[in-house]
Amino acid sequence: MDWLTNPEAWIALATLTALEIVLGVDNIIFISVLVGRLPGRQRNRARVIGLALAMITRILLLLTITWVMRLTAPLFAVLSHAISGRDLILILGGLFLLWKSTFEIHNSLEGEEQAKTTGVVAGFAGVMVQIALLDIVFSLDSVITAVGLADDVSVMVIAIVIAVIVMMFSAKGIGDFVDARPTIKMLALSFLVVIGVALIAEGFDIHIPKGYIYFAMAFSVTVEMLNLKMRKRAIQPVRLHKALKEKSGS
């Protein structure tokens, strides 16, 4: 625990915690979309368990950091491009994310009744399995970032725990907000498509700066917030006119 008296370690802890929260945004979006298919009474429990799985996955990967670093060794080549274990995980995770988000977009467009008739409503165990699989993919970036910023494993673990606790408190609010607004849910699913493409590109050593992706997400959310506010203002006069009409009729 020598890092407690080291100012640089505290700076690394604060920076890493903030980055872990930012890197966890895509995880929260994915979990929010998945638990939306569960009955209302199970959703909050699923969010907490899903984020707890994310925390455990990140800590386990940190504790096996030597093995994680070996994932960068080439396994085979595709079109003269070397593919490592990390690349393979990112590509498969990206493909799964593309499939899942496209699947959810299709069901949203078809409507809730169509989703139920095709047996889309997922069980609790199935949702947990999907969250656990994607947690591994999302954790790779998180762990590699942690290793690059901090030297002490305990600092990395504390940063991850703090970040996940913050996400646990915010996940329900984000999930409820997404569920209550269909256009926001569609936007969130579109983000997952972008993240899936970015993961596949990363797997083939095509680096897309995360800043561009997060800026695009923030800009899209800002525009959608303005649209929601404008629609709300447009609905209010209609409701007022209807109320006045009913009052005058009575």
Query: How many structural domains compose the chain?
Result: 1
pLDDT tens-digit profile of 127-160?
888 888 777 777 776 676 666 666 677 777 888 8
Cα(36)–Cα(28) distance, integer angstroms: 12
220, part of any domain? no
pTM exceeding 0.75: no
pLDDT above 80 for 226: yes
Q: Is residue 244 part of a domain?
A: no
CB atoms within 10 A of CB 199: 26
| Residue 36 counted as domain residue | yes
In a domain, 239, yes or no: no
Judged by average pLDDT, the poorest of 66-70, 157-161, 205-209, 214-218 is 66-70
In the block, tokens 């990967």 appear at 61
Residue with the bigger pLDDT between 4 and 153: it is: 153
Q: What is the mean pLDDT of residues 24-45?
A: 78
Q: Is residue 217 part of a domain?
A: no
Domain range spanning residue 33?
2-208
Between the CA of residue 143 and those of 24, 54, 58, 228, 244, what are the distances in Å?
12, 11, 6, 36, 59
Tens-digit pLDDT profile for residues 94-120: 888 788 788 878 877 776 544 444 444
Report, as an integer, the average pLDDT of 199-206.
83
Percent of the chain's residues with pLDDT above 90 = 0
What distances in angstroms separate CA 31 from CA 79, 171, 178, 247, one per listed residue? Answer: 35, 8, 11, 45
Checking if the pLDDT of 168 tops 60, the result is: yes
- The answer to whether residue 250 sits within a structural domain is no
Nearest to 86 by CA among 70, 71, 100, 65: 71
228 within domain boundaries:
no
pLDDT digits (tens, 9 = 90+) for 239-250: 555 655 666 655
Angle between helices 25-35 and 153-180 (to 10 degrees): 40
